[in-house]
Amino acid sequence: MIHVVGKTAGRWGLRVPARQGEEVRQALIREGALDPSLKVLREGSDLILPLREEREGASLFEFEAHPGREPLPRHELVGGIAIMQENDPSGAQQLLASRPSLHTVVFAQGEVHGEYRIREFSHLAGESTTRTLVTEHGHTFVVDLAGAYFSARLSTERQRILSQVREGELVLDMFAGVGPFAITLAKRASLVVAVDLNPKAVALMFENLHRNRTENVLPLLADARHLARILPWRFDRVVMNLPLADTEFLSEAFRLVRPGGMIHFYSLVSAEGEHADRIRELGGAIAAERVVRSYSPAQWHAVYDIRVR
Ligand code: SAM
């Protein structure tokens, strides 16, 4: 069974059983993730803790504001940059003053688009830049939001995949971006081949390899469509993080995995088991299908862990 995160208008909140509420609340405060301007909600035996931004397991709820504390405008954080969905300069100043770690507030002028999966931004407050540093589980990644895709929301997912990697594996990241999956998995793998079509993403990946002293990632500027012809290896594990591509690249991934190997295939879906027939047809068995995050009320990002026969 997979759980689809329902969306209502409102603010991001995390549902926890009341008996774990205080422990989780303290952990969120330590992370700077709890929104102190909103009151905690109670629903039956659960508490809903208000969050500053979306995270895994969160849904949207209507919270009451604490009197006298103005709620922060909705935003997404990537390192020291807050991304707002509204062009709201005074909200941007409020955000900038809310956290010392913020250096910039930008307005996202649309959705991610094109092959490189990037967005356009306009500057609202603070330093005028789209470059920032993101710290994630002991790694630091330099990202440039206008130049290459990066999502801080996948950090839990990267740790989940790392927990499955065995020492010495040969791993392929087909859509590597600035390298967060590749650098994370390189902790256990013997070699990670990290491919991207966007030259800016690959240039940032080089910086990130240097910054994290990672010497077992091979960055490759290439189109994933041609990898089976370019690469001499068959991999133990392939990561496919290009959710809007549907199943277009799946057959290429199957060509690149050894029998018994694993593919982690991310996809935007609107039904459980949407790609199950295609996966079976290609010779795969679904080991797990999970929701990564909601995308719209009727669609979500799913990950299929596929064992290749
Ligand atoms: N895995 C990275 C992460 O989690 O930050 C990036 C994922 S992003 C959704 C998809 C990436 O695939 C983008 O950086 C884009 O440039 C790249 N891409 C798109 N089409 C490609 C192709 N045909 N071959 C190789 N890379 C491609």
Work out the mean pLDDT of the chain and round it to a whole number: 92
pLDDT above 50 for 5: no
Ligand 1 proximity of 148 Cβ (cutoff 6 Å): yes
Tokens of 61: 């709820």
The beta strands (E) that lie in 51-130 are given as 59-61, 75-78, 81-84, 104-108, 121-126
Please give the number of the atom of ligand 1 that sits closest to the Cα of 173: 1
Q: Which residue among 134, 175, 268 is best mutated to probe the pocket of ligand 1, counting the most ligand atoms within 8 A of its Cβ?
A: 175
What is the predicted pLDDT for the residue at 179?
98
The three-state secondary structure class of 257 is strand
List pLDDT tens digits, range 235-286: 999 999 999 888 999 999 999 999 999 999 999 999 999 999 999 999 999 9
Query: In the predicted model, what is the mean pLDDT of residues 140-148?
Result: 97
pLDDT in tens, 52-71: 888 878 888 998 888 877 77
In whole angstroms, what is the distance from residue 33 CA to residue 27 CA? 9
In order of start, what are the domains of the chain with their CATH numbers?
A: 11-61 (3.30.70.2580), 75-129 (3.30.300.110), 153-308 (3.40.50.150)
Residue predicted with more confidence, 2 or 11: 11
**Ligand 1 atom with minimal separation from the 224 CA:** 24
Determine the average pLDDT of the residues in 78-84.
Answer: 94
Q: Are 20 and 49 in contact (CB under 8 A)?
A: no
Would you say the CB of residue 117 lies under 6 angstroms from ligand 1? yes
Overall average pLDDT of the 88-112 stretch = 92
Task: Ligand 1, residue 244: give the atom nearest the CA.
Answer: 9
Please work out whether the CB of residue 208 comes within 6 Å of at least one atom of ligand 1: no
Confidence tier at 294 by pLDDT (50, 70, 90): confident
Cα separation, 289 vs 210, whole angstroms: 34
Question: How deeply is 216 buried, as exposed, middle or buried, from its count of CB atoms within 10 A (0-12, 13-18, 19+)?
Answer: middle
Is residue 83 within 8 A of residue 150, CB to CB? The reply is: no
